[in-house]
Structure 1
Amino acid sequence: MTMNKSKQSRNRPIHKPLVLWTHVNTNNFFGNLGNIRFDYTTENPNGMMQKGLKTEVSEELKRMILKEWAWLIGTDKVVVAITNLGDAFFSDKSGWIYWLDTGSGELEKVADSLGDFDEYLADPETSDVWLLSNLLNDLEAAGIHCQEHEVYSPKHHPLIGGEYKADNFYCIDALEHFSLSSSIHFQIKDLPDGTPIQFTISR
């Protein structure tokens, strides 16, 4: 199979190494990151009621996401919501909102406040990029329904040509999804484009 250096994630290209095998060893991979503490909270007055967005996230999952992705997002953020397709949104002390795209392994500031974030979500084009609304509709139409503790995750990662189509996604525990996706991106973050690499599972 011919692999292209640049892969498409939603509507933007990913420039990452070529991943030939995406099995990873996540055992204690982030055990030395330490504890993360927060002494402030964020509140959304508008409720962020949006299909594909989970705002009621367990404390266990919040702590795990913050710990596993601290290498990218830093230690100054709180989880605002996650998406059904396994991405996350954060807020910091300034109230800014950030989007973690677990497919491309990128963090992007997307709004100056939760109020602005709500307004942007009301725009169909923006919400489809962030929440993959069309893909979510296709998954539901195909009868693929996740449990409350699960998210949709790709069978074949976008880094190796996996497409954002319903037949490439399955339901997986959200804890496992965020841990696995973080481990993949952490291990390849400093490699140049086109580097052939191999991940193996240790049992």
Structure 2
Amino acid sequence: MSDINDYLIDQAGKDWGDLLSGWRQALPGDFTLWMVNRFGDLILVFEDGTVHFLDVGMGQIGQIAESREHLFEVIDQGDNAANWLMMPLVDACRAAGMTLSPEQCYGYKTPPLLGGTYDLDNIELTDLSVHYALLADMWQQTKDLPEGTRIKVVIAD
């Protein structure tokens, strides 16, 4: 049996207000940051007690439980834990020798939002501040585009 903490980032000592500043538009004014998986995805408790999942790689947020207690019921159903905590991919990263420092998470060479895959070849160690800022910027630029819109990425020096 796995320990949930093997799949979570230690939140202590981090300025989450600053790290998540680019995501303010996607989040309510008041929420509690409950858990952060090793890919920087967030499990949040909103003011009404509902639990939501912010997938920063895809730029999507959605409710996953009616309450904290309800999350404990549903996390073990089907592939919920594996998906929300990215367990198989975290295990693969660890097996490949990818060890996170306290200020890092696993990031994407090509974010899923831009068609990147959830496999080891697309994963790299990333500074948390860079991870959140980069993905929030991509989300901001694409959030109002219709589904399936083709995006041209230009990288400037």
Corresponding letter in the other structure for 2:136? S
Q: Which residue of 2 aligns with 1:196?
A: 151
Distance in 2 (alpha carbons) for counterparts of 1:132 and 1:124: 14
The 2-side partners of 1:84 and 1:98 are apart by 17
1:67–1:79 CA distance, 2 compared to 1 (3 A): same
TM-score where L is the length of structure 2:
0.85
Structure 1 equivalent of residue 83 of structure 2 = 129
> 1:94, CA displacement in angstroms?
1.6
Provide structure 2 residue ranges, at least 5 long, that are not aligned to the other structure: none
1:52 aligns with 2:52: no
Retained in 2: the 8 A contact 1:91–1:98?
yes
- What CA RMSD, in Å, does the superposition of the two structures yield over aligned residues? 2.2
TM-score (norm 1): 0.68
Which is richer in helix? 2
Asked if structure 2 preserves the Cα contact closer than 8 Å seen for 1:66 and 1:78, the reply is no
2:127 is equivalent to residue 182 of structure 1: no
Where does the alignment leave 5 or more consecutive residues of structure 1 unmatched?
1-47
* Contact 1:154–1:168 (CA under 8 A) maintained in structure 2: yes
Identity %: 24
The CA deviation at 1:76 is: 2.0
One-letter amino acid of the structure 1 residue matched with residue 122 of structure 2:
N
Instruction: Compare the two structures and name the one with the higher strand fraction.
Output: 1
Structure-2 separation of matches of 1:124 and 1:52: 18
For these two proteins, the number of residue pairs brought into alignment is 154
The residue number in structure 2 matching 1:12 is none
Asked if 1:138 corresponds to 2:92, the answer is yes
Residues 49-93 of structure 1 deviation map (CA, whole Å, 9 limit, x = unaligned): 443123534351x21244221111121212112110120111122
Change (3 A) 1:131 1:59: same
Q: 2:59 touches 2:113 (CA, 8 Å); kept in 1?
A: no
Structure 1 position 111, deviation (Å): 1.1
Structure number with the bigger relative contact order (C-alpha 8 A, sep ≥ 6) is 1
Query: Do 2:50 and 2:68's aligned partners in 1 also have CA atoms closer than 8 Å?
Result: yes
CA distance in 1, matches of 2:21, 2:56: 15
d(CA) in 1 for partners of 2:152, 2:33: 31
1:154 aligns with 2:103: no
